[in-house]
């Protein structure tokens, strides 16, 4: 069935359903926002198998994302001419010379490489390695802790380069470090690495307990304060720390977003996971008058096909950021239109309600419910949810409902049960439809008794079989 999806609004994920760009670092250059990240592939067997690509959107329309193409190949660096290493999370900054610098690293090296371009959309060409004044590679000298997940901030004559990896319980690692580089060449360290965020093994008494540094730093200056975003020891959450200085005295601020929504108690118990949790990485950006946090979610039942999402945040007068819940709206400044076809891949929640037992961890199983697609990597196939089981719920937030009296589900597969609609977890059933077995996408219709207003929509499957869901229609 060819379902036309015409909703011209920003969504989550913000890129097409067949694109997998995690670790997104958003930056505004001119009148566009550019997102730089690593590049997973559909059905990938490890992280980051693709070359770096870039997507951008005009600030005037955050639904209009443009593919800028491959901006840097993993074989472009002399140390990886055979292509056996993969490119992990990068960052981009604009240097004092007006050129754009891409800071990156490979999975089997501990140093930071740099590429350069005259345009924010690239392509980038290899430039060099971050080194000390004697040529030693920062991160690979004797006694260095490995650099990892670079993020950069340019201020006048200096470039502040942050990075580091500190696995939970790893006493050989300290935390997140910063190295000051000379902005004249963007490569030469003029100060030795200094640690600014503690890992879990040294977090006791620091204020970072239970939310110590793991990986994925992202630096922003907001007003006169420096905000260092990072993935904590819990992996699924992005936290932040704040300082008056770029290289010292960071204090823990809190969690901004978690990709299984634990910590949110507005629509469920705080400790209940309503999505697959996994590693997380992203950054802050101001788009127009609003601030957003970019992050990623896990799809396809694995850790290796991640997709970028974003949520609007609020920074209060004291500089505090409250945790925000995951939504389907993403970069949209209002709820989605609750009419017509709603694709299943924009579900922000996917969990099991029976006994409040969430599906917490994504794995490689082919039997768990998951957001996926047909075809191979690169095929422009609309995403869907496969393997609904009894008690599994998909949540869509938020929809502006007006004058709706019926709904359809578009399903395929072996089906011996019904899809129920509600506007809250465990809430009253407002409509129920019982599809039949079908080998191809087919729509099944039922009445829907729903009031006008802004609602979450939860679709829960009850029964046997393992149907897939392409989406639903509100009429």
pLDDT in tens, 101-152: 999 999 999 999 999 999 999 999 999 999 999 999 999 999 999 999 999 9
* pLDDT over 70 (residue 25): yes
Please tell me the predicted confidence (pLDDT) of residue 2: 44
> Where residue 60 falls among pLDDT bands split at 50, 70, 90?
very high
Please tell me the predicted confidence (pLDDT) of residue 8: 74
Of the candidates 19, 51, 215, 237, the residue annotated as catalytic is 215
> Where residue 7 falls among pLDDT bands split at 50, 70, 90?
low
> pLDDT tens digits for 325-338?
999 999 998 999 99
Domain covering 25-313 in this structure, CATH number: 2.115.10.20
Write the DSSP string, 384-435.
EEE---TTEEEEEEEEEE-S--EEEEEEEE-EEEEEEEESSTT----EEE--
Please tell me the predicted confidence (pLDDT) of residue 27: 98
Which two three-digit tokens encode residue 34? Answer: 């550019």
Please tell me the predicted confidence (pLDDT) of residue 366: 64
Q: Where exactly are the structural domains of the chain?
A: 25-313, 337-474
Please tell me the predicted confidence (pLDDT) of residue 1: 43
- At residue 201, what are phi and psi to the nearest 5 degrees? -75, -15
Q: What is the average pLDDT score of the chain?
A: 95
* pLDDT over 80 (residue 356): no
State the sign of the Cα–Cα–Cα–Cα dihedral 462, 464, 467, 473: negative
Cα gap 315→241, rounded to integer Å:
13
Count of Cβ atoms closer than 10 Å to residue 394 Cβ: 24
Please tell me the predicted confidence (pLDDT) of residue 242: 98
Locus of tokens 């993969």: 86
* pLDDT over 80 (residue 45): yes
How far CA 428 is from CA of 262, 322, 344, 431, 458, in Å, comes to 24, 30, 22, 9, 11
> pLDDT tens digits for 180-221?
999 999 999 999 999 999 999 999 999 999 999 999 999 999
Cα gap 235→280, rounded to integer Å:
6
Show Cβ contacts of residue 231 under 8 Å, excluding neighbours closer than 6 positions: 214, 215, 216, 237, 238, 239, 279, 280, 281
Calculate mean pLDDT across residues 287-301: 96
- At residue 454, what are phi and psi to the nearest 5 degrees? -90, 120
> pLDDT tens digits for 266-289?
999 999 999 999 999 999 999 999
Q: Which helix (H) or strand (E) holds 215?
A: strand 213-222
* pLDDT over 80 (residue 227): yes
Which two three-digit tokens encode residue 170? Answer: 């790893």
Strands 336-338 and 392-401: parallel
Please tell me the predicted confidence (pLDDT) of residue 367: 72
* pLDDT over 60 (residue 381): yes
Percent of the chain with pLDDT over 70: 96
Please tell me the predicted confidence (pLDDT) of residue 168: 84
The yes-or-no answer on residue 209 being catalytic is no
Of the candidates 23, 237, 311, 420, the residue annotated as catalytic is 23
> pLDDT tens digits for 454-475?
999 999 999 999 999 999 999 9
* pLDDT over 80 (residue 360): no
> Where residue 169 falls among pLDDT bands split at 50, 70, 90?
confident
* pLDDT over 80 (residue 354): no
User: Is 285:294 a contact under the CB 8 Å cutoff?
Assistant: yes
Please tell me the predicted confidence (pLDDT) of residue 35: 98
CATH superfamily of 337-474: Galactose-binding domain-like (2.60.120.260)
Please tell me the predicted confidence (pLDDT) of residue 262: 95
The yes-or-no answer on residue 23 being catalytic is yes
- Nearest CA to 411 among 439, 374, 375, 377? 439
Cα gap 196→166, rounded to integer Å:
13
């Amino acid at each position: 069935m060819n379902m036309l999806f015409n909703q011209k609004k920003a969504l989550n994920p913000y890129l097409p359903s067949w694109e997998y760009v995690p670790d997104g670092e958003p930056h505004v250059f001119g009148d566009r926002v550019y997102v730089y990240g690593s590049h997973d592939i559909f059905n990938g067997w490890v992280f980051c198998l693709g070359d770096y690509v870039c997507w951008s959107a005009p600030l005037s329309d955050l639904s209009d994302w443009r593919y800028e193409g491959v901006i840097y190949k993993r074989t472009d660096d002399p140390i990886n001419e055979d292509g056996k290493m993969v490119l992990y999370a990068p960052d981009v900054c604009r240097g004092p010379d007006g050129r754009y610098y891409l800071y990156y690293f490979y999975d089997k090296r501990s140093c930071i490489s740099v590429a350069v371009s005259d345009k924010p959309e690239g392509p980038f060409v290899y430039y060099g390695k971050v080194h000390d004044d004697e040529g030693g590679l920062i991160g690979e000298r004797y006694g260095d802790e490995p650099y990892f997940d670079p993020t950069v901030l340019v201020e006048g004559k200096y470039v502040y380069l942050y990075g580091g990896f500190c696995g939970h319980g790893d006493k050989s690692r300290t935390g997140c470090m910063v190295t000051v580089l000379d902005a004249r060449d963007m490569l030469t360290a003029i100060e030795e690495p200094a640690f600014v965020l503690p890992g879990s093994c040294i977090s006791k008494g620091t204020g970072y307990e239970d939310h110590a540094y793991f990986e994925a730093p992202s630096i922003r200056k907001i007003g006169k304060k420096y905000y260092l975003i990072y993935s904590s020891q819990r992996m699924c959450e992005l936290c932040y720390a704040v300082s008056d200085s770029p290289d010292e005295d960071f204090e823990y601020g809190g969690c901004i977003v978690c990709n299984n929504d634990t910590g949110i108690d507005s629509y469920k118990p705080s400790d209940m996971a309503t999505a697959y949790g996994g590693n997380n990485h992203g950054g802050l950006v101001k788009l127009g008058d609003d601030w957003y946090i970019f992050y990623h979610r896990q799809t396809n039942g694995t850790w290796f096909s991640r997709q970028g999402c974003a949520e609007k945040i609020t920074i209060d007068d004291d500089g505090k950021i409250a945790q925000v819940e995951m939504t389907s709206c993403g970069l949209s400044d209002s709820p989605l239109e609750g009419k017509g076809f709603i694709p299943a891949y924009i579900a922000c929640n996917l969990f099991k309600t029976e006994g409040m037992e969430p599906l917490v961890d994504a794995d490689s199983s082919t039997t768990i419910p998951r957001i996926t697609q047909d075809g191979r990597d690169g095929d422009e196939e609309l995403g869907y949810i496969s393997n609904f089981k009894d008690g599994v719920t998909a949540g869509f937030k938020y929809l502006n409902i007006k004058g709706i009296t019926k709904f359809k589900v578009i399903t395929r597969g072996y089906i011996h049960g019904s899809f129920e609609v509600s506007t809250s977890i465990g809430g009253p059933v407002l409509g129920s439809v019982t599809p039949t077995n079908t080998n191809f996408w087919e729509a099944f219709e039922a009445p829907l008794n729903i009031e006008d207003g802004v609602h979450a929509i939860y679709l829960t499957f009850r029964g046997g079989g393992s149907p897939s869901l392409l989406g639903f229609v509100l009429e």
